[in-house]
Homo-oligomer: A and B are copies of this chain.
Amino acid sequence: MSEISTGPAGFAARLRAGHRTVGYWVVCDNALATERIAGVGYDYVCLDAQHGLVDHRALLAAMTAIDARGTAAGMVRVQANHPFWIGQALDAGARGVIVPMVDTATDAEAAVAACRYPPVGQRSYGPMRAGLRVGPKPAESDAEIACLVMIETAEGLRNVAEIAAVPGIDGVYIGPSDLRLAVGGSTSTDPAVDAEFDAAVRTVLSAARSAGIVAGYHCPDGASAARRLAAGFTVVSVASDLVHIEQAARGHLADALRPPGS
């Protein structure tokens, strides 16, 4: 593995090789903050276009901000599994996509096809911003881009072995909120289905191992990311800027109102 380049250019190769890959999850359209976050040492910063505020304009601004720091790879959790949205993220310079709600091997094949140029896939050529940094040859670009698919539905969980076995899929990525609802939770954190949820997590991890690909996990904080790394996940995201800023504001208010001497 010594030939994997450090820095953003080697991101997909390191991810595939199973290196520990820690990311930060951005849902806000806030390029100035993203520029700062991108410089603290994460391997990647993932921009959320599904549930976040990352439209195309925001995506370009955030990718540019990430590149201005030069150390993290930009990833995108795309709006949905559609070639236009995947292509747009990649044209903006993303070095990886996380595709939500993948239910079947057919879905996974579509995700791969959208990430890879012919003859491997059907990505359309027009790397508007990416051309400056990724590739630039199609085959090089394919090699430098990671394709992760989210396992977060009952159907996706049932089909995870087939999904993980689709050629070109680099990893499966657990969306715990949706997955908990999928196994019967009444809320996204419902402890009543802990057993079912933990079993589902083991199923996904095991499917990834059998297929020789990596497994990723969406975490609310660094400590849980550490636990998932210890459990065998190699790709962990810490989410999110929106939640963390609210937590910070809340914490500072408590400090400000604390009686002196307490």
Q: Are the C-beta atoms of A244 and B238 separated by less than 8 Å?
A: no
**Chain B positions within 8 Å of A61 at CB level:** 31, 61, 64
Q: Mark A232-258, 1 if CB is under 8 A from B, else 0.
A: 000010100110111111111111111
Whether, in the assembled complex, A230 has its beta carbon less than 8 Å from a beta carbon of chain B, the answer is yes
Q: Are the C-beta atoms of A226 and B256 separated by less than 8 Å?
A: yes
- Given A79-B84, A187-B137: A222 in contact with B128 (beta carbons within 8 A): no
Q: Are the C-beta atoms of A236 and B256 separated by less than 8 Å?
A: yes
Within the complex, which residue of B31, B79, B253, B260 is in contact with A222, where a contact is CB–CB below 8 Å?
A: B253
- Given A138-B181, A252-B221, A252-B238: A129 in contact with B42 (beta carbons within 8 A): no
In the complex, what's the smallest C-beta–C-beta distance from A122 to chain B, in angstroms? 7
When chains A and B are docked, how far (Å) is the Cα of A41 from the Cα of B252? 11
Within the complex, which residue of B68, B222, B258 is in contact with A67, where a contact is CB–CB below 8 Å?
A: B68
In the complex, what's the smallest C-beta–C-beta distance from A159 to chain B, in angstroms? 15
Q: Are the C-beta atoms of B246 and A245 separated by less than 8 Å?
A: no
Whether, in the assembled complex, A109 has its beta carbon less than 8 Å from a beta carbon of chain B, the answer is no
Q: Are the C-beta atoms of A249 and B64 separated by less than 8 Å?
A: no
When chains A and B are docked, how far (Å) is the Cα of A248 from the Cα of B28? 15
Whether, in the assembled complex, A1 has its beta carbon less than 8 Å from a beta carbon of chain B, the answer is no
- Given A56-B53, A177-B126, A255-B221: A118 in contact with B80 (beta carbons within 8 A): no
Q: Are the C-beta atoms of A178 and B256 separated by less than 8 Å?
A: no
Within the complex, which residue of B60, B219, B230, B238 is in contact with A31, where a contact is CB–CB below 8 Å?
A: B60
Within the complex, which residue of B101, B184, B248 is in contact with A124, where a contact is CB–CB below 8 Å?
A: B101
Total copies of this chain within the assembly = 6
Whether, in the assembled complex, A195 has its beta carbon less than 8 Å from a beta carbon of chain B, the answer is no
Whether, in the assembled complex, A104 has its beta carbon less than 8 Å from a beta carbon of chain B, the answer is no
Whether, in the assembled complex, A229 has its beta carbon less than 8 Å from a beta carbon of chain B, the answer is yes
In the complex, what's the smallest C-beta–C-beta distance from A114 to chain B, in angstroms? 11
Residue from the set A55, A56, A61, A178 with the largest chain B CB neighbour count within 10 Å: A56
What residues make up the interface of A, taking CB atoms closer than 8 Å to B? Answer: 22, 24, 27-33, 35-37, 39-42, 48, 50-53, 55-57, 60-61, 64-65, 67-68, 70, 79-80, 82-84, 87-88, 91, 100-101, 117-119, 122, 124-126, 128-129, 132, 137-139, 152-154, 175, 177-178, 181-182, 184, 186-188, 219, 221-223, 225-227, 229-230, 236, 238, 241-242, 244-258, 260
8 cross-chain pairs, A with B, having the tightest CB-CB distances, nearest first: A222-B255, A51-B126, A222-B252, A225-B256, A222-B256, A244-B248, A80-B84, A67-B68
